[in-house]
Homo-oligomer: A and B are copies of this chain.
Amino acid sequence: MQLGKGVEWCTHICGMLALVPTGKGLSAEALADFFEVPSAYLAKQMQLLRRAGIVESVRGKGGGYRLARGVDAITLLDIVQAIEGPSPAFRCTEIRQNGPCGLKRKDCKAPCEIASAFAEAEEVYRDALRAKTLAAINAEAAANGSPEHFIEVAQWVQRQVS
C-alpha cells in the first residue's frame, strides 16, 4: 500500500506556491527544476491539483500555477485525494457472498464487520490529514528551518516570476 510520488511532490509544491505573489504563477517546468523531478509527469499531477480546485493555472506567456485559495483552506487530505482519487484503500469484494456458505445479497445490505473496521480506520486517517493545513505546515517549517534558507527560496521564486 503506497501513495504515489505525486503526493510528496505536490505537497511540497503547494507549500512553495504560497510564496508566489498575487497575480503571478510558477510554470510546471520551474517547479520540476526546483525539486528535480520529471517535468512532464509533474505536469500531469498539477492537472490533477487543478481539477480538484487546489491550484489554478494561467496559460500563455508568463503563465503558470498558483494556489486557488488560501493556505488555511488547503489541507493535506485535499492534496492526497486530488492525486490518489477518492477510492478507499481497503477493497471489499463481498466474499462473504461467495462459496458454499455464501450469504444472499439481500442479507448484505449493511457492510460486514471487517469492512466497517477498515472504513473507520481510514476515517481517522483522513481526519488527521484534514486537520493539517498548508498554513500549519508552513508555519512549522518556518519555525524549524533556518531564516537563510527561507530567504533563498523566496528569492528564487522572485526570479521566476519577474
Contacts and interface: CB of A to CB of B under 8 A. Distances in A.
Interface residue range, chain A: 35 or more
A162 to B, nearest CB: 16
A149 interface: yes
Indicate the member of A90, A100, A113, A122 with the most B CB atoms within 10 Å. A113
B36 A101 contact: no
Given A113-B144, A121-B125, A99 B8 contact: no
A36 B94 CA distance: 11
Nearest to A93: B8
Contacts of A122: 125
A20 interface: no
A91 B12 contact: no
A40 interface: no
A39 B105 CA distance: 24
Interface in A92-128: 92-93, 95-96, 98-103, 107, 110, 112-114, 117-118, 120-122, 124-125, 127-128
A128 B121 contact: yes
A117 B141 CA distance: 12
Interface string A129-162: 1001000010011001010010011001000000
A22 interface: no
A2 B4 CA distance: 11
